Structure 1
């Protein structure tokens, strides 16, 4: 059988090191799908229940493997369904290649069935490289450039393949003539560390600081030791953007934890009191949680020079790899002998952990969602991979879980989309079948995509060396973060038609699929349920029936937010009594942690 373009696409991707493609079939991509069955390609095809899941899994594959994630879809609706997951990858700077089918070339421009202008459709999400093949001779350099640019720019690229081109005879070596392109496989990175004189300028700023605060993001995930060494030298505290949660362990007494709306008071205090800010591998967007402009001097490190100096006016910007740059910077830094700033940070951190424990143990109806995460924290397996969805669950994930060395964690950072936690977890198990994985999501995200993803989980799990995958669903019957945002930012009462969710038996549904299901509706059951799920030989869904009235309070409540909150309650919020009661408890614990309220 003659080799087709579809065969060649898989062969070329395999040569680039691709070992897994996430996707869903359809007639627009049949030529590539069929090639999986022609011979052993060395690439596994992972069928998802929806193309959006495929794109999420490709993004997570990149996050948890360091490799390029690849997803595949048919023309028209299949291609459209990829977009949300691809935007997740783009906004979190993950290398993902989308292979997308298209109608045959002769039909294009004829308003044909499922004909969508895919080049225009993908032009934003894959603007660094999106092209459609029109001849077999193109395909080699289209695949090569899509892979190379995705790696270099840490972004999404897209190759569109009309279905008639997929079935044509492959051209592995374009003719040696004018107008042809002869590309090759392989990627060589550029310089990792800035110039010595730039490092010296940065060191001068940092050495002059008496109260240095460090903010780390996803770009520092591989730079843990270097970040800690710099913090020790400068006597600095370390705050973490959400995507940088696993960059440094929370067991260090000077790690203040998350920053922002989902952040900690310790991080808030440190940013308001510091005189110098070192930002490493982060594009944290919320200026109100950084020092006021002019109050602190700034140094920023990022591998992407386009992301420098857009969040805070920095005095020195260093374009380079976080680990390599910090290691080169370290010998130029002075040891900060005065440890009073560090001691203040450590005291604030210790106080904050007491506040969180007190809040987690408050009574709720029926279960306090904070307790769900607080009880998990000491039970986390040593090499666990954590995935979290958007919503109020991200608040408790950000604050209550203590990350230890060797753990990995991620969520949708830049896009903050719902529906990512379970496909992230599935991809994590594909990449690391020997590691335990925990997915944390709300009932809104579970109803949106998670229920479908469970079907894939039920099909796949027996292939894994370690079957432990725990899906924890916060079942509060409410689109909870939306409800709280309506109250706090708009001053509107909860609108049941918008935010109430239909009941669904999550644990029972998992059992129906051959998985394990545990439903928890009493606070005393929470710890034991985690232990049972984490020791189960079968993937387990933990349905935690939680109280929607427990507020995910920001670390600092502005007067405007407080006024909006009061107005929302006065407008006849149906949960006003429970909300007020829970809020009073939270505020009390923030002032008097450990002292019981009546």
Structure 2
């Protein structure tokens, strides 16, 4: 007889799951035996921690468009999944988590590792159900996948360990209460009301200075976004989750927006008279037009989220691609191209400024901007880029210029530390022939990345190959993003007790466990270090010793933050260095706008 555990894995395979990321425990012993019998269909991939497994499942969904899947034991293993699952929930990725539980007989007795899992997973899950009868497994699994795909969210299946080892009932008896479900789902074609389309077209046709913001919801609408931007004479800024929707070599793409954004994006938003948001829930009002400054049109597939970031006049609830197809015939081409010409000029100036800033090194130490700037022209075709949360994310966002066919993602909405490394590992499993490069700060690498290098070691034969696989570590011995936030947001100097971290030889650690390690601490050797890493046939930890005093200067600084940063600098242990380097960078920016600087 087939056991419930075997049936569960068979059903996962029928839903297209090829690998399940997880960590073992006695609460899923039945499933572990079934994985052994399944002989890789689906395959169990052992992460070093359940949180990393959940990040890998989220990354699988991001880089394949399929449902990601992770598994954990009862109690503590289940708790460990939560951060990674919240990353999937907040970034709208379909993930199914399969979680063990104590025997039904012991539930409610305060038994060892007994946790109220349905309550624990209630908030993170769009669907959460415990299997308490063998005949229930079929429809619970099917509903989990259908819900994850439909809501682009998390679904959790809880299976007590005694149920896992009972005989399966793939077809329950046909009686009252039995349910007979099927594998299968199709993406809907969702279009807005025709009257709302005409209203949106009227607003866009009336505008003369149109700014577009796109997010991951525009991912399958590249040609339609470009056509709309060309008709409207608009520039296009990209939220971080949407940065691979359009390539950066299009002259009207202004790059990232917000605190980590470009001045070209900021100038466009501050000068626009019409805002057109597509598939983005960019939340930061200080980087959007002032209320009343611009008229608004938005496309979003989720009616719950439309018109909640900026007051919109036209609310187009629908799929971005299909909605744009219906909208474009109603748009009139702008004959006056002066707004577009200004945007393209601003993009050119911003790119020149970034190059100059990246070329400024102080006292022989590496400017972290240069690490990204040197990589950008070296990016291999089809590369997948991941980033962790930290100051390195600024340089990842600003200096890496994506070309068509590249993919990039990070923890966009949760903005948690830790996913850069597991994202890269999952990307490599999903696409073994594509280059993968992760940007990771030393804080995130110490938190979890170093442990996941052991996962890379375990699967070294599969993760090696001619396509580069690089973990770029920014070593500045500082939890740098929070340090800068302390200064700018709280007006406090750097607190060494919380912000300084040990100097660890990351490249040597990589060599110790059988990977390739490369160390670079000289500005003139950055390019050579990248060349060596990108030519390696095994995974690389590329460690750059970088300057912690290079400020991630935002596109504009409001008065409050400026005052707080100045106040903090007076008592900051790195105040002198910050002042000198910040002044040099600001002078570089001002020099870009002097008469005669540009043809």
TM-score range, shorter chain: over 0.9
Q: Indicate whether 1:496 and 2:496 are aligned.
A: yes
The 8 Å contact of residues 435 and 466 in structure 1, kept in 2 or not, is answered as no
Tell me the residue number matched to 1:106: 105
Question: SS at 1:334's partner residue?
Answer: coil
Q: What are the residue-to-residue correspondences of 1:156-171 with 2, within 5 Å?
A: 156-171=154-169
The 8 Å contact of residues 358 and 594 in structure 1, kept in 2 or not, is answered as no
Q: TM-score, normalised by structure 2?
A: 0.97
Provide the rounded CA distance (Å) in 1 between the counterparts of 2:552 and 2:208.
33
Q: Indicate whether 1:391 and 2:386 are aligned.
A: no
Tell me the residue number matched to 2:527: 527
Shift of 1:452: 0.6
Q: What are the residue-to-residue correspondences of 1:312-351 with 2, within 5 Å?
A: 312-351=310-349
Provide the rounded CA distance (Å) in 1 between the counterparts of 2:295 and 2:132.
53
The 8 Å contact of residues 471 and 540 in structure 2, kept in 1 or not, is answered as yes
Q: TM-score, normalised by structure 1?
A: 0.98
Provide the rounded CA distance (Å) in 1 between the counterparts of 2:74 and 2:457.
28
Tell me the residue number matched to 1:580: 579
Tell me the residue number matched to 2:434: 435
Structure 2's unaligned 5+ residue stretches are: none
Q: What are the residue-to-residue correspondences of 1:73-84 with 2, within 5 Å?
A: 73-84=72-83
Tell me the residue number matched to 1:354: 352
CA displacement, residues 498-524 of structure 1 (integer Å, 9 cap, x when unaligned): 000011110000111111111110100
CA displacement, residues 241-288 of structure 1 (integer Å, 9 cap, x when unaligned): 011111111111111111111011111111111111110110101011
Tell me the residue number matched to 2:468: 468
CA displacement, residues 108-154 of structure 1 (integer Å, 9 cap, x when unaligned): 1111111111111101111x211111111111111010000000000
Provide the rounded CA distance (Å) in 2 between the counterparts of 1:467 and 1:206.
44
The 8 Å contact of residues 5 and 167 in structure 1, kept in 2 or not, is answered as yes
Provide the rounded CA distance (Å) in 1 between the counterparts of 2:36 and 2:370.
49
Shift of 1:189: 2.8
The 8 Å contact of residues 79 and 100 in structure 1, kept in 2 or not, is answered as yes
Tell me the residue number matched to 1:546: 546
Runs of 4+ aligned residues of structure 1 deviating over 3 Å after TM superposition are 464-467, 593-596
Shift of 1:194: 2.3
Name which of 103, 119, 133 aligns with 2:131.
133
Shift of 1:303: 1.4
Shift of 1:193: 2.6
Q: Indicate whether 1:66 and 2:57 are aligned.
A: no
Mean Cα deviation higher: 168-177 or 194-203: 194-203
Provide the rounded CA distance (Å) in 2 between the counterparts of 1:73 and 1:445.
23
Tell me the residue number matched to 2:507: 507
Q: What are the residue-to-residue correspondences of 1:205-224 with 2, within 5 Å?
A: 205-224=203-222
Provide the rounded CA distance (Å) in 1 between the counterparts of 2:467 and 2:133.
45
Question: SS at 1:472's partner residue?
Answer: strand
Shift of 1:89: 0.3
Provide the rounded CA distance (Å) in 1 between the counterparts of 2:187 and 2:293.
37
The 8 Å contact of residues 9 and 38 in structure 2, kept in 1 or not, is answered as no
Provide the rounded CA distance (Å) in 2 between the counterparts of 1:526 and 1:50.
33
The 8 Å contact of residues 253 and 349 in structure 1, kept in 2 or not, is answered as yes
Shift of 1:332: 1.3
Provide the rounded CA distance (Å) in 2 between the counterparts of 1:294 and 1:15.
52
Tell me the residue number matched to 1:560: 560
Shift of 1:40: 3.7
Provide the rounded CA distance (Å) in 2 between the counterparts of 1:373 and 1:547.
14
Provide the rounded CA distance (Å) in 1 between the counterparts of 2:131 and 2:406.
42
Question: SS at 1:307's partner residue?
Answer: coil
Shift of 1:319: 1.5
Tell me the residue number matched to 1:276: 274
Q: What are the residue-to-residue correspondences of 1:247-326 with 2, within 5 Å?
A: 247-326=245-324
Q: Across the two proteins, how many residue pairs are aligned to each other?
A: 593
Mean Cα deviation higher: 460-469 or 356-365: 460-469
Mean Cα deviation higher: 481-490 or 16-25: 16-25
The 8 Å contact of residues 278 and 300 in structure 1, kept in 2 or not, is answered as yes
Provide the rounded CA distance (Å) in 2 between the counterparts of 1:169 and 1:156.
28
Provide the rounded CA distance (Å) in 1 between the counterparts of 2:495 and 2:51.
28
Tell me the residue number matched to 2:85: 86
Shift of 1:197: 2.9
Mean Cα deviation higher: 313-322 or 484-493: 313-322
Shift of 1:594: 9.8
CA displacement, residues 480-535 of structure 1 (integer Å, 9 cap, x when unaligned): 00100000000001011100001111000011111111111010010111111111
The 8 Å contact of residues 383 and 406 in structure 1, kept in 2 or not, is answered as yes
Q: Aligned Cα RMSD in Å?
A: 1.3
